[in-house]
Structure 1
Amino acid sequence: MSDWSTIEALPSPKLVDLFAADPDRLATFSLDVAGIHFDWSKTHLTADAMAAFAALAAAQDLTGKRDAMFGGAVVNVTENRPVEHTAERGEGKAESVAIARQFHARMRTLIDAIEGGALGEVRHVLHVGIGGSALGPHLLIDALGREDKRYDVAIVSNVDGTALEDVFDRFDPAATLLVIASKTFTTTETMLNAESVLGWMTEHGVEDPYGRVIALTASPDKAVEWGVDETRVLPFSEGVGGRYSLWSSIGFPAAIGLGWGAFEELLEGAAEMDRHFRLSPLHQNAPAIAAFADLYYTQVRHAETRAPFAYDERLRLLPSYLQQLEMESNGKSVRVDGQPVGRPTAAITWGGVGTDAQHAVFQLLHQGTHLVPVEFIAVIEQYDTLNEDHHRQLLLNAFAQGAALMKGKSVDDPARSYSGDRPSSTLLLDQLDPRTLGALIAFYEHRVFVNGVLLGINSFDQFGVELGKEMAKEAAKGGGDFDPSTTDLIRRAGLD
């Protein structure tokens, strides 16, 4: 049988039976890395499943492709590029690491100049970008920037003008720094937002609005052509993909908003996970084990979604961040050779925040007809200063939900019965700080990579986002060959 046939033929034992049969199951399927405890014991992974996935990993040359990525080889084959986000945190091809350090040094020099008053008074930082140029920085600022704020930082991605106006109402244009994040420096939504910010500054008497612009881009020449002074352009390498770019100059809002020390700790936490992924055997490798579980549920149990729930308000943006990382990376239907994959690829990622979600979507998770692997993310150390009962209840709810999903409950009334045997994994952080958050994000990146390699797809292109944007540009010019429904919608909105 083929390697996939072996996996597809795996049995589907009940979780409670797996625990009953193996007193060491918890130790076998849990791991501690970089201040994070990983527990996959409440998934349906078994020794046989692990062996089958290890065989598939060998057949797909996972270790070779992992080494190729860290070595700076062309891994993104459809765009003929290396994949170098790990070099941004010091783990990669020596030349690429050196370039990343030069770019980081340039960023720090500019931050020092801003803090020294070189650009005048700065109290607000308005970062405009979209996709990976916004989701990563927004996650960092929201998770880590809740106290001792150096600057008010706002991340705006939506081209809906309401998003900008909400910031305009709060910020002083004379004390605002505009940060434009765009890999190509041609992204339509980002450039329109940037122009509107400049217009707002001009309308409010800022004499030299362009003098208060920072550009974060892999196309520095285009930024200079657009009007940004070369000294305020912070480049990053072409091999750093958008959704993997928060470690580069795209992380500028975090570096200035949280402080350079915090940014360096973020990089080191990610580097620690890089080293774990690169050096650990697969049966003790957190990203690999997580990917094996992902593939077990998509390929064996035909689960179409997976749901991460953050039991920490500071990580409320994590599910949104993971949606792009996982679905843009592995939402593909063809292999690297251009042939159809012929099997499910990325699960649909959705999720939310505990305990809110328990009183909404958990009804479906416990008693619905869909099998949804759940992932709980929680933090041991309490952050808030309220009565410790708040944090105690938060954690107990997270742990109890996982137990309830697995155990279920059978009573005479079918409406009050729970089938149980519903899988979950838990990621328990010692504390939430730049180092552990860096490690957590890097874990998810490498998990995506393992999924992609085992499926035989390229996780690093995203051509699927282009067609709709191209058609919108055609419509804006008054052209486009649209169906009757779309043509009518454009007419009804007065856009023809």
Structure 2
Amino acid sequence: MSLRCDQTPQWPQLQAAFSADGSRLDLREAFASDAQRFGHFSQHAPEVFADLSKNLWDAATETLLLDMARACGLTQHRDAMFGGQPINSTEGRAVLHTLLRRPRGLALPGDGPDIAQKLDQVHTTLDAVLAYADTVRADGAITDVVNIGIGGSDLGPHMAVLALDQFRAPGKRLHFVSNVDGHELHTTLRTLKPESTLFLIASKTFTTAETMTNARSALAWFAAQGGQDVGRHFAALTTNVDAAQALGITTTFGFWDWVGGRYSLWSAIGLPIAIAIGSEGFRDLLAGAHAMDEHFRTAPLAQNLPVRLGLLDIWYRNFHGFTSRCIAPYHAALRRLPAYLQQLEMESNGKRVGLDGQPLPYATSPVLWGEPGTNGQHAFFQMLHQGTDVLPLELIAVRQPTHPLEGHHNKLLANALAQAQALMVGKEGEDGHRHFPGNRPSTFLLLDALTPASLGALIALQEHRVFVSGSLWGINSFDQWGVELGKVLAKDLEARLESGDVAGLDGSTAGLLGLLRSAA
């Protein structure tokens, strides 16, 4: 069994290094004394350039972190994932979202005995999904596509469709409905016509409460508005074909239990992306992700960008005690990226017990949050610069603009550069109100252009980074039992809202339930 990070010889060495020097590292002095700092702490990876030099670490610290990763068996755990071993231990499942973007017929060292068969299934389904997407794109009668899903069946496709809007097919509007609050579905439907709308119902089991409530309401709206031919206007992204057909939905595309919801945009769940950008664009998205997969799988740890980011996350969370990380994409098309990364990281690594089910003696996932720059600068950046908490910032910028407007893009890039610079250098003020302490960390990720390939690589980079920190923390990053209890209680409380029965409830819940019933 692999060592947990706190069981390695490097853990106490890192504690000692932090106590001796790490907590007092001054970035301004570090740059002044090391002309090579930018070169050492920056690197190219597929489609992404990363500058890690404005972070609170030095070469000796990174070396200790890398040694700790080796002692924890990170490479073996990584290879086990790629090979299809059941590393999702609480559910006894493989974790093979990387297989969804592996080229047809490509065998890798360490592949399990059934990987080739699974890869054939992946490409058979992919071909069918993309053929359907291109058919929809060519159908001028369909002007609106409504994706109904939640969690991974919404966040990933929604984020990617917005990010790749410049590649979207003309004449097609994409809508996303996730919330069980009927307001969201109602405000979407009131702009649509049944004869020109396609609904995609995204639920692996076809039992997700929020999704199925919205799906049934969409079907009722379709019938009430005189809609004809459910089979033409509804498709299901599910493995429960019988349940879909019971609702009259005959077009279905499935996926597998080794694809977690937050890792599923590469599967049939990505159908709205494929409709938006076409089959060629979707294959480019997969190719970008696969290039990052290969970087993560083969690059030496010291030049492996997902590894370096994951180790930096551990350094900040467990030694500096930083509780959150702010995400600031300096591109408006990436405005849903912070929400997507929230699920990716906090649902994966928001765990309080290790693989043995016992409580861990250290913190795990940070809180992720953010907004696009420059909006965030006029909202919460005040706290980043002068607040009492030090909060690492991750900026994501794109070198080439996606619009023809003069004067905008250089202003945007200048703001991204300025925020990172200001956080680091600070400013001596004439009084406390105008003083900027500086020495506040940031990471700068740069894409040359926002394309399907670069977006695929960026997402895969973040997936593997989460894997690295979760692996060293000794947790299962691929289950999500924490979302289940609330679902169970909600079913009980829904019935109680109808009946008014408060027997056995705590005083607060009973009081609120009574108030809600009286208001009704």
Supply the distance in 2 between the matched residues of 1:103 and 1:140 (Cα, whole angstroms): 20
Tell me, yes or no, if the aligned pair for 1:144 and 1:433 is still in contact at 8 Å. Answer: yes
1:105 paired to 2:123: no
1:49 maps to 61
Secondary structure of the structure 1 residue equivalent to 2:204: coil
Query: Taking structure 1 as reference, are residues 223 and 59 closer, same or farther at Cα in structure 2, changes over 3 Å only?
Result: farther
* Selected match of 1:242 from 261, 274, 280: 261
1:382 maps to 401
1:487 maps to 510
2:488 maps to 470
1:299 paired to 2:318: yes
1:145 maps to 165
* Selected match of 1:356 from 375, 397, 400: 375
Supply the distance in 2 between the matched residues of 1:116 and 1:51 (Cα, whole angstroms): 54
Supply the distance in 2 between the matched residues of 1:226 and 1:466 (Cα, whole angstroms): 26
* Selected match of 1:21 from 33, 37, 43: 33
Q: CA deviation at 1:48?
A: 1.6
2:147 maps to 127
2:477 maps to 459
Query: Taking structure 1 as reference, are residues 258 and 24 closer, same or farther at Cα in structure 2, changes over 3 Å only?
Result: same
Supply the distance in 2 between the matched residues of 1:304 and 1:116 (Cα, whole angstroms): 48
Normalized against structure 1, the TM-score is what? 0.96
Query: Taking structure 1 as reference, are residues 199 and 210 closer, same or farther at Cα in structure 2, changes over 3 Å only?
Result: farther
Alignment of 1:369-408 (within 5 A): 369-387=388-406, 389-408=407-426
Count residues in correspondence.
491
Amino acid at match of 1:459: S
Secondary structure of the structure 1 residue equivalent to 2:517: coil
Tell me, yes or no, if the aligned pair for 1:139 and 1:315 is still in contact at 8 Å. Answer: yes
Specify every segment of 5 or more residues in structure 1 that has no aligned partner in the other structure, as ranges: none
Q: How high is the sequence identity, in percent, across the aligned residues?
A: 44
What whole-Å deviation, never above 9, does each CA across 1:304-350 have from its counterpart, x for those lacking one?
00001011101011111111101000000001111111101000001
1:37 maps to 49
Q: CA deviation at 1:432?
A: 0.2
Alignment of 1:305-344 (within 5 A): 305-344=324-363
Q: CA deviation at 1:228?
A: 2.2
Q: CA deviation at 1:140?
A: 1.0
Supply the distance in 1 between the matched residues of 2:402 and 2:145 (Cα, whole angstroms): 25
2:86 maps to 74
2:464 maps to 446
Supply the distance in 1 between the matched residues of 2:263 and 2:13 (Cα, whole angstroms): 33
Secondary structure of the structure 2 residue equivalent to 1:418: coil
1:265 paired to 2:272: no
Tell me, yes or no, if the aligned pair for 2:147 and 2:175 is still in contact at 8 Å. Answer: yes
Supply the distance in 1 between the matched residues of 2:171 and 2:465 (Cα, whole angstroms): 34
Specify every segment of 5 or more residues in structure 2 that has no aligned partner in the other structure, as ranges: 1-7, 109-114
Tell me, yes or no, if the aligned pair for 1:75 and 1:83 is still in contact at 8 Å. Answer: yes
1:9 paired to 2:16: yes
Stretch of structure 1 that moved more, 469-478 or 416-425:
469-478
Tell me, yes or no, if the aligned pair for 1:218 and 1:238 is still in contact at 8 Å. Answer: no
Tell me, yes or no, if the aligned pair for 1:124 and 1:175 is still in contact at 8 Å. Answer: yes
What whole-Å deviation, never above 9, does each CA across 1:435-460 have from its counterpart, x for those lacking one?
00000000000000001001000110
Normalized against structure 2, the TM-score is what? 0.91
Supply the distance in 2 between the matched residues of 1:476 and 1:165 (Cα, whole angstroms): 21
Supply the distance in 2 between the matched residues of 1:277 and 1:102 (Cα, whole angstroms): 26
Amino acid at match of 1:128: I
What whole-Å deviation, never above 9, does each CA across 1:56-103 have from its counterpart, x for those lacking one?
212221000100100011011111100011000017733322221111
Supply the distance in 2 between the matched residues of 1:33 and 1:301 (Cα, whole angstroms): 27
